[in-house]
Structure 1
Amino acid sequence: MARSSIATAAERALLGGAAGGIRIASKISPELGARAALPLFMRVGPRVPVAPVDAATHAAARRGTVRIPGIRRTGVDVVTYEWGGGPDTIVLAHGWQSRASVFATLARELRSEGFRVVGFDAPANGESGGRGTYLVDHLHIFAELQQRLGRFHAIVGHSFGGLAALLAPAEGIAVRRVGAIAAAATPDVFIDGFGDLAGLDPATREALARRFAARLFPGEHPFERYSALAHPLPDGVPLLLVHDRGDRRVPFSEASRLVAANPGARLVAADGLGHNRILRADVTLDAVVDFVTAPDAAGAPRPEAAASAIR
Structure 2
Amino acid sequence: MAAKSQIKNQSLPIPKTIIAAARFLQAISPKLAALFAAKLFTTPLKHKIPKREIHIDKESQQSKLYIPSIKKEIVVYQYGTGIKKILLVHGWSGRGTQLVKIADELVALGYTTISFDAPAHGKSSGKTTLMPEFIASILALEKQFGPFEFAIGHSLGGMSVLNAVKQGLKIKKAVIIGSGDIIQDIIDDFIKKLRLKPQIGQLLKSHFEAKTQEDMEDYASHHAAKSVTIPVLIIHDKNDEDVPVKAAHNIQAHIKNSELMVTEGLGHRKILGNDKVLHAINNFLHKQ
TM-score by length of 2: 0.90
Indicate the residue corresponding to 1:38 in structure 2.
38
Compared CA separation, residues 8 and 107, structure 1 to 2 (3 A): same
Contact 1:15 1:40 in 2 (8 A): no
Compared CA separation, residues 44 and 13, structure 1 to 2 (3 A): farther
2:193 to 197, 209, 218: 197
Indicate the residue corresponding to 2:3 in structure 1.
none
Contact 2:74 2:118 in 1 (8 A): yes
1:265 to 233, 238, 258: 258
Contact 1:85 1:114 in 2 (8 A): yes
SS for the counterpart of 1:137 is helix
Following superposition, the deviation at residue 116 of structure 1 comes to: 1.6
Following superposition, the deviation at residue 255 of structure 1 comes to: 0.4
Following superposition, the deviation at residue 69 of structure 1 comes to: 4.4
- Residue 10 (structure 2) pairs with residue 17 (structure 1): no
1:63-78 equivalence runs, <5 A: 63-69=62-68, 73=70, 75-78=71-74
Indicate the residue corresponding to 1:306 in structure 2.
none
Indicate the residue corresponding to 1:131 in structure 2.
127
Deviations 1:175-217 (A, max 9, x none): 11111000012322320221111122222211111112223x1
SS for the counterpart of 1:231 is helix
1:220 to 204, 209, 214: 214
Following superposition, the deviation at residue 291 of structure 1 comes to: 1.6
Contact 2:23 2:33 in 1 (8 A): no
Indicate the residue corresponding to 1:277 in structure 2.
270
Indicate the residue corresponding to 2:53 in structure 1.
54
Indicate the residue corresponding to 1:93 in structure 2.
89
Aligned residue identity for 1:195 = I
Contact 2:229 2:256 in 1 (8 A): no
1:175 to 158, 171, 182: 171
Deviations 1:223-275 (A, max 9, x none): 13212222215464001011100001000010010111114311111111111
TM-score by length of 1: 0.84
2:239 to 220, 242, 246: 246
Following superposition, the deviation at residue 13 of structure 1 comes to: 4.8
Following superposition, the deviation at residue 104 of structure 1 comes to: 1.1
Paired with 2:130 and 2:39, the residues of 1 have a C-alpha distance of: 14
- Residue 168 (structure 2) pairs with residue 164 (structure 1): no
**Any unmatched runs of 5+ in structure 1?**
1-5, 296-311
1:8 to 8, 12, 27: 12
- Residue 107 (structure 2) pairs with residue 108 (structure 1): no
SS for the counterpart of 2:174 is strand
